Structure 1
Amino acid sequence: MRILNTSSTLAGEDGEFNAEHREEVRGLLRLFPIWATCIIYTLIFSQSSTFFTKQAATLDRWIGATFRVPPAALQTFISLTIITFIPVYDRLFVPAARRFTRLSSGITMLQRIDTGLVLALVAMVVAALVEARRLGGAREAGLVDDPKAALPMSLWWMVPQYVLFGLSDVFAMIGLQEFFYDQVPDVLRSLGLAFFLNIFGVGHFLSSFLISAIDGATKKGGASWFSNNLNRAHLDYFYWLLAGLIQRNAGGFVRKSAR
């Protein structure tokens, strides 16, 4: 009888373990739609360290007569914006939002992520408009076929899109990290953070794939969007495409997060 009782106890414990394990797996699968709809955000984020830098290299980067700003240095505006606005978010935005929502966090994690996606959309619209102006300046100055010449356009025109990316990170990137850490069981939190980091790896890979596909398609039409001579390229078209993708993606995110 003791052996039978022991076997029954072990079988019961195994059943409970399997049930708990299945519930954890189902919990992880429920996070997948959020993961999938946020990949486009990281695809857009990868442009700040690639094409934005190439654009900045074509502009007037002199401050005074002695200092020339390195084009990659503009990325510091993203970090400075994050450092500046995280305290603003915690000390001003959250208390103000708390008065309306009655939530201790001000807004939910999903609302925070969605706000970041909207800010990324605004950043891409601004980037497209600035690039269109840069191309217009190259034509007006007669420098279309002189890609190494500095255009008569200040690099400060590009600062707003970097600041918007930083604001987007304050909402979306931190919100995603918090979401994937909080919405998994304690024993799977390392896996939740892996989900978060994996989004950026997949996003950068898809960015390379999308650029290669568009480059091949537009070359057949006679003019690649990503010509080595940026004055003959059409990065503005690419940015409008990304803005359209993030707009559709933000709508899909809202629908999936509402379920």
Structure 2
Amino acid sequence: MEPDMENNTNIKNNKKRLGGLRTMPFIFANEVAEKLAVVGFAANMITYLTQQLHIPLAKSATTLTNFSGTASLTPLLGAFIADAYIGRFWTITIASVLYQIGMISLTISAVLPHFRPPPCGGNQVCQEATSWQLGVLYVSLLLTALGAGGIRPCVVAFGADQFDESNPKEKTRTWNFFNWYYFCMGVSMLLAVTVIVYIQDNVGWGWGFGIPTIAMAMSIVSFVGGYGMYRRLEPAGSPFTRLVQVMVAAYKKRKLPMVSDPSFLYENDEVDAAISLFGKLGHTKNFRFLDKAAIVTEEESTEIQKNNQIPNPWKLSTVHRIEEIKSLIRMSPVWSAGILVITASAQQGTFSLQQARTMDRHLFSTSFQIPPGSMSVFTMLAMLLTITLYDRILIPLTRRFTGLNRGISFLHRMAIGFFISVLATLIAGFIELKRKHVAAAHHLLDEPLTMVPISVFWLVPQYALHGVAEAFTSIGHLEFFYDQAPESMRSTATALFWLAISAGSYVSTLIVSMIHRFSARPDGSNWLPDNLNRGKLEYLYWIVTLLQFLNLLYYGVCVRFYTFKPLQLKVAVNEEDVGDVGKSGKEGGA
């Protein structure tokens, strides 16, 4: 065999040996262990803050939503590092170590009594945690936030990278991956809100935080163990730099007349090779002011022809790079529509949990009580059941009518989730009215520590509906970002998913703060007091319901005018896939 043929054969064999389904156990094991660690302390953290650190309810709620918001901002940093410098594998690995350090710190603070205020009970006034005790907590949370910033935007994209987009057989597996990725994540969260929360409430916070810490260590070992089998895409340079270069070049040439034919705009396959492994983005007619960045002046044309030099990207951009920024601009309205869904679900870990704490949590006629933090188990079960039915039944069924490989488009999938989320918060308000009516009937309005004789299972509908909504909305969002984002920016695009979560958490904090401010009375009472029996929590739910309804109308407008990612020509890499494979992107939203 000739050397060149032998090298080509080795390259092809190596390509076939990397990635694929066999890498999924390592990636899923990492995700299961990582989510067990994350949810294991986050699901019941409101209890830790109020009962162990003696922080008031409203302050604890805003602390958690602020932390959630910060943790969902850091993925932008992680995505930038992954796409620009070290790739997704090393970003995930390093971030996991940071997360591990934060978990160890949090566990130590839960074990050693010096890191917590003294216990109190009965009518004794509880001493709130001191500034330095809170400082230890915040540093621990910051480390976990930084770790999450590297893990969250990269794991989904890294898992999808294991399937070759240029191979039609593997392309369909990518969409199954999103469903089963979220399913594995849901299983882990289910374990967290049952087993881990039970240990925290009944055994101790040292073990309650210690077990997730051990799980995080196991996730690192599992992920690194698959190193030799992963398909690892090399970083293609800073996507933010390219975006700025396009805008600068367009501004410099803003006074130039637009070319009559888009084919005259600058294109260079060599320049775009590293950021268009599966093909180039075609030209679109919207945002034409950016197209001026690709107008070739006479001076630039002479320089390119005579010296055969690559032009200065701050003066001349390719069509592909211009279309990258156009894609992100087009995605922004759809992205923003997901914010209020997160705002609605954020209440489950704060006020809904406090509702559960006041209710009868006995499991049927037994003496066992459901921990308040475990109520989200109904969210997880509903989400897992929805994902399973969606993947096994709904996709094959709807495929017959729509002709789409994934059954229904990701835009339609998100719309269904938005509508169900509206129902969830609407129902939550009426359930709170029912809970307070029972409390009033038994003269318990001024006894917040006394159990209200109403079953906690009244809260199941709102928890379950949020789970169904998440199965549609969150996975649809992930599919949307991965499909419609430029291939070189997929970590960055996935970070937008977490940025929406961040914005949703901050909006939740803003709404709660505004309610505290504008509902305050001279006697110090407001709609959201520590004693929910005297509060107006249902008003919060209904305000969020109204905002979500308006958001659903806004989303409909966004979908109506959305333009899908332009034609992306892909060169097949397998012998059986001869020629170019075209992709219009319309399957996502047709």
**Do they fold alike, i.e. is TM over 0.5?**
yes
Asked whether 1:51 is paired with 2:351, we answer: yes
Asked whether 1:139 is paired with 2:440, we answer: yes
Gaps of 5+ in 1: none
For residues 225 and 176 of structure 1, the distance between their equivalents in structure 2, rounded to whole angstroms, comes to 33
Distance 1:184 1:159, change over 3 A: same
Asked whether 1:227 is paired with 2:560, we answer: no
Asked whether 1:236 is paired with 2:544, we answer: no
Distance 1:69 1:4, change over 3 A: closer
Question: What letter corresponds to residue 56 of structure 1 in structure 2?
Answer: A
- Aligned-partner SS, 2:359: coil
Residues 304 and 310 in structure 2, CA contact (< 8 A), matched pair in contact too: no
Q: Mean Cα displacement is larger for which, 243-252 or 65-74?
A: 65-74
Indicate the residue corresponding to 2:377 in structure 1.
Answer: 76
Indicate the residue corresponding to 2:337 in structure 1.
Answer: 37
Q: Determine what percentage of the aligned residue pairs are the same residue.
A: 32
Indicate the residue corresponding to 1:250 in structure 2.
Answer: 552
- CA shift at 1:11, angstroms? 3.6
Q: Mean Cα displacement is larger for which, 62-71 or 86-95?
A: 62-71
Asked whether 1:210 is paired with 2:524, we answer: no
Distance 1:218 1:100, change over 3 A: same
Query: Deviations for 1:73-130, whole angstroms, at most 9, x for unmatched residues?
Result: 1111111222222110011112222233232222111110010000101111111111
Q: How does 1:80-99 map to 2 (within 5 A)?
A: 80-99=381-400
- Aligned-partner SS, 2:430: helix
Residues 424 and 462 in structure 2, CA contact (< 8 A), matched pair in contact too: yes
For residues 316 and 403 of structure 2, the distance between their equivalents in structure 1, rounded to whole angstroms, comes to 37
Question: What letter corresponds to residue 47 of structure 1 in structure 2?
Answer: Q
- CA shift at 1:221, angstroms? 7.5
- Aligned-partner SS, 1:231: helix
For residues 541 and 517 of structure 2, the distance between their equivalents in structure 1, rounded to whole angstroms, comes to 17
- Aligned-partner SS, 1:152: strand
Indicate the residue corresponding to 2:502 in structure 1.
Answer: 201
- CA shift at 1:30, angstroms? 0.9
Asked whether 1:111 is paired with 2:394, we answer: no
Indicate the residue corresponding to 1:178 in structure 2.
Answer: 479
For residues 383 and 453 of structure 2, the distance between their equivalents in structure 1, rounded to whole angstroms, comes to 30
Indicate the residue corresponding to 2:171 in structure 1.
Answer: none
Query: Deviations for 1:168-194, whole angstroms, at most 9, x for unmatched residues?
Result: 011001111111111111101011101
Gaps of 5+ in 2: 1-302, 562-590
Q: Pick from 307, 332, 338: which aligns with 1:7?
A: 307
Relative to its length, the structure with more helix (as a share) is: 1
Residues 439 and 445 in structure 2, CA contact (< 8 A), matched pair in contact too: yes
For residues 512 and 373 of structure 2, the distance between their equivalents in structure 1, rounded to whole angstroms, comes to 21
- TM-score, normalisation: structure 1: 0.93
Q: Which has the higher contact order (CA 8 A, sep 6+)?
A: 1
For residues 246 and 121 of structure 1, the distance between their equivalents in structure 2, rounded to whole angstroms, comes to 6
- Aligned-partner SS, 1:69: coil
For residues 61 and 230 of structure 1, the distance between their equivalents in structure 2, rounded to whole angstroms, comes to 17
Q: Mean Cα displacement is larger for which, 171-180 or 93-102?
A: 93-102
Distance 1:12 1:68, change over 3 A: closer
Distance 1:4 1:153, change over 3 A: closer
For residues 22 and 215 of structure 1, the distance between their equivalents in structure 2, rounded to whole angstroms, comes to 46
Indicate the residue corresponding to 2:569 in structure 1.
Answer: none
- Aligned-partner SS, 1:181: helix
Question: What letter corresponds to residue 247 of structure 1 in structure 2?
Answer: F
- CA shift at 1:12, angstroms? 9.8
Q: Mean Cα displacement is larger for which, 88-97 or 110-119?
A: 88-97
Question: What letter corresponds to residue 214 of structure 1 in structure 2?
Answer: I
Q: Pick from 149, 153, 165: which aligns with 2:454?
A: 153
For residues 497 and 429 of structure 2, the distance between their equivalents in structure 1, rounded to whole angstroms, comes to 28
- CA shift at 1:248, angstroms? 0.7
Question: What letter corresponds to residue 217 of structure 1 in structure 2?
Answer: F
Query: Deviations for 1:188-210, whole angstroms, at most 9, x for unmatched residues?
Result: 10111011111101111111111
- Aligned-partner SS, 1:219: coil
Question: What letter corresponds to residue 171 of structure 1 in structure 2?
Answer: F
For residues 46 and 12 of structure 1, the distance between their equivalents in structure 2, rounded to whole angstroms, comes to 47
Instruction: Output the aligned Cα RMSD.
Output: 2.1
Query: Deviations for 1:32-61, whole angstroms, at most 9, x for unmatched residues?
Result: 111112111111111111111000000011
Residues 361 and 370 in structure 2, CA contact (< 8 A), matched pair in contact too: yes
For residues 487 and 560 of structure 2, the distance between their equivalents in structure 1, rounded to whole angstroms, comes to 24
For residues 88 and 16 of structure 1, the distance between their equivalents in structure 2, rounded to whole angstroms, comes to 50
For residues 514 and 385 of structure 2, the distance between their equivalents in structure 1, rounded to whole angstroms, comes to 38
Which of structures 1 and 2 has the bigger CA Rg?
A: 2
- Aligned-partner SS, 1:62: coil
For residues 142 and 11 of structure 1, the distance between their equivalents in structure 2, rounded to whole angstroms, comes to 79
Distance 1:4 1:32, change over 3 A: closer
For residues 522 and 420 of structure 2, the distance between their equivalents in structure 1, rounded to whole angstroms, comes to 33
Distance 1:12 1:6, change over 3 A: farther
- CA shift at 1:254, angstroms? 0.9
- CA shift at 1:7, angstroms? 2.6
- Aligned-partner SS, 1:195: helix
